[in-house]
Amino acid sequence: MMPKECSGGCKTIDRRALLTRTVPACAVACLGLGKIEGLSTTVLTGKLQGQHKFDVPQEISLSPRQRGQLAIGGALELIGVFRDELGDEESIRILNQFSAERGRQSARRQLAGAPDNSFQSFVQIFRSPTMESSLTLDIVEDTENVFALEVRECLWAELFRDAGMDGEIGHAAVCNMDYFWPTEFNPAFKMERDKTLMQGHDICNHRYINTA
């Protein structure tokens, strides 16, 4: 689409064209933004000499749901703009691209702190108590080369559903990353799944497999 002339002799770019061109580059920066309005904070340490007020550590007491709302507030607003300007099909394409990269990044971060890239090192993250803050899950299979779990509650699915953005939009924004995480950790690993809470099923049935 050709740019439009503006009154000052400069050129402006159509909003749809701007979104389409810039989203792949800025999605990581934009989608993680949330609002911090109305939060009560407590300063943990006094302002250090020469330290800017923006860098002074603060304590913010939030529930897991509040932290989730904070984390994805900006994302939901941006997805709403995508849908209005680009339609669902193009929005899903862009969100799939974004979440695939998020999955790869998560694997690289995990791998950086893991002792190796073995299957047991990979699945160890699902045994972590930190998972309980956003998921309610049961491990249903745990062998040398297969690890399966069923997620009965997912905070992210609830938040997207509350915003009217569950289904394929929510799956593209969040759940799609799960396919790229294991493969980036080790090319021999893969995930199989045919149910997600985000898409309206009763569970998410993740099954991780070591194909080596």
> In the prediction, which pLDDT does 48 show?
58
Report the CATH fold assignment for 13-35+63-210.
Muramoyl-pentapeptide Carboxypeptidase; domain 2 (3.30.1380)
Specify the higher pLDDT residue, 186 or 20: 186
Which has the minimum average pLDDT: 3-7, 103-107, 110-114, 203-207?
A: 3-7
Distance CA 4, CA 102 (A): 34
**DSSP-based three-state secondary structure for 162:** helix
Question: Which tens digits make up the pLDDT trace of 50-59?
Answer: 788 888 887 7
**φ, ψ (nearest 5 deg) of residue 64:** -55, -40
DSSP for 180-195?
A: HHHHHH-TTEEEE-S-
Whose tokens are 């899903």? That residue is 92
Question: Which tens digits make up the pLDDT trace of 75-132?
Answer: 999 999 999 999 999 999 999 999 999 999 999 999 999 999 999 999 999 998 888 8
Distance CA 126, CA 111 (A): 14
Which has the minimum average pLDDT: 22-26, 95-99, 108-112, 200-204?
A: 22-26
Confidence label for 47 from pLDDT (cuts 50, 70 and 90)? low
Pairing of strands 58-60, 189-192: unpaired
> In the prediction, which pLDDT does 28 show?
36
Q: Is the dihedral of CA 123, 129, 133, 135 positive or negative?
A: positive
> In the prediction, which pLDDT does 8 show?
41
Q: What is the dihedral of CA 39, 45, 50, 52, to 10 degrees?
A: -10
Confidence label for 14 from pLDDT (cuts 50, 70 and 90)? low
> In the prediction, which pLDDT does 51 show?
82
210 pLDDT exceeds 60?
yes
Cα 86 to chain centroid, rounded: 21
Question: Which tens digits make up the pLDDT trace of 132-171?
Answer: 889 999 999 999 999 999 999 999 999 999 999 999 999 9
150: tokens are 């069923």
Distance CA 76, CA 176 (A): 16
